[in-house]
Chain A
């Protein structure tokens, strides 16, 4: 009796929730479904099912090369961003540092600047210093973009670190470097691992910066873009599905790791 009044808004809320889930998942589901279609056109009805497109993708030299190239760029930019980001986070929490708010704001800027603006300014920057477009420029761009995420994750963890931990290491005979590598870094470990996975995903996913900074060798998003330009085919669906499954798995794992780090 009493529930008839309160159930109204609640039911509406639940309905909206499911509508939103549907809206999120429908395009992805369609894309995945089409990758199993045994025909050349991406359209209903699906009719016969096949795994041929996947077999084709796995034999596609262009696709495999683009994958490898993307992974290489992701690895390099992740390594650079993690090192830089950790260093900046350490600087921000260090004693006697003035202007830590400014350092923090500057470090986080690339995360909020629109990708387009960031890409254009990076392009202008590299031509100013006579740096050619290509691998090095892409890595530079991806690094700048990823640093803020490492800084935030490392900072959160650093701030929860008992102050005395480093003091204890120093007290037991460790100099600053040993204390960092044997105590601070292992303590940061889970947060950094989460941050690194995030960097990898950002880099693999990036299109705009790569487009402005890249040379002739295509990364994975650029290859898929080029293929889409030439017309849709279930092969592209298969490619995208592979990327989706792999990145989703990696992303979920990163979330799991950072969650564990927060509760520990």
Chain B
């Protein structure tokens, strides 16, 4: 399918500071794509360049097959949901939503129909005549979303729109956003620094760091098979085991980590003896038990810290040499562990191996 958005070698720098470094990205229509990264990684700049509020220093941006690199914001068919919503304070909810439609030259009847249709989509029919100041945060969020959707943009851009909401409302809005995206079939390009938001809603996550794409893929792949230390650390909680290669044959590599021998699948890598590797071990992949596991990687340890988190308990286990492993245990299983001395075991296939050369971050 022809991509709806395409960044070709896009660069953006402010003086000496490089905000976006040779970005190449194409987005298929109808997808929920998230640009994820820490602040200053270039995600918002990329979004603003697509919106027309920044001009790339070099490169080309295509929208629905047309070059829009230098087209002003009012002449391109994308709309933004701003972080602070930017609702017009002197206009009613209905007027806010109608704004883009009026500028498109639609007749009153058509505008009215479209506005009611959109208000119905988010169940705000009864609020049409209210001013933005009279709405709650969640309602303002929905109005901003509908205002941006009203003119039927090729892509809807969302610039950290949930960051102003409290935790509970944010979770609710995540589900609602995804539902609206599926219902309307629109392409959503969402920018956030919150990995949980990205995992919940996205079809594709683009992890950005220092102006470049670090890794791109669906949430499962990014979480389960991170391609770099940065991604492994940024998405979810993780244990990074820096190991030395003892031997490697096909799918099995024997590694020395912290004085013990563990095995892992090196994936596509062909590590040599003595080379350093990182093994990504997610806390939930570790099985804690009182007795020594019969197979897989295992290590004896001592519980140093317990943090009760409701649906699970987080254990910090010291495994010798000062190394700590972060693990998750179901609260009811904690008692069965007996004492402080426990065994940790994990299956080699649950880990991912990352070469050390990517570890410069």
- Chain A residues proximal to chain B, CB less than 8 Å: 162, 164-165, 167-175, 178, 182-183, 186-187, 189, 264
Contact = CB atoms under 8 A, between A and B. Distances in A.
Interface of B: 51-53, 72-74, 78-80, 82-84, 86-90, 99-100, 103-104, 133, 147-148, 151
Contacts of B74: 170-175
Nearest to B88: A183
A189 B90 contact: yes
Contacts of B78: 171
B90 A170 contact: no
Q: Which of A170, A172, A175 has the largest count of B CB atoms less than 10 A from its CB? A: A172
B100 A172 contact: yes
B274 to A, nearest CB: 55
B89 to A, nearest CB: 7
A167 B72 contact: no
Contact of B53 (A167, A169, A182): A167
A259 to B, nearest CB: 17
B90 A171 contact: no
B104 A173 contact: yes
Contacts of A178: 103
* Interface of A: prevailing SS: helix
Given A173-B104, A174-B103, A165 B86 contact: yes
B302 to A, nearest CB: 53
Contacts of B148: 171-172
Given A173-B104, A174-B103, A264-B133, A165 B88 contact: yes
Contacts of B87: 168
B103 A168 contact: no
Contact of B86 (A162, A173, A264): A162
A158 to B, nearest CB: 14
A239 B347 CA distance: 98
A170 B75 CA distance: 9
7 shortest A-B CB distances, which residue pairs? A172-B100, A164-B86, A173-B103, A168-B86, A186-B90, A164-B82, A170-B73
Contacts of B151: 172-173
Given A171-B78, A174-B103, 19 more contacts: A164-B83, A164-B84, A165-B88, A167-B86, A168-B82, A168-B147, A169-B99, A170-B52, A170-B53, A170-B74, A171-B73, A171-B79, A171-B80, A173-B100, A173-B104, A173-B151, A175-B72, A187-B89, A187-B90
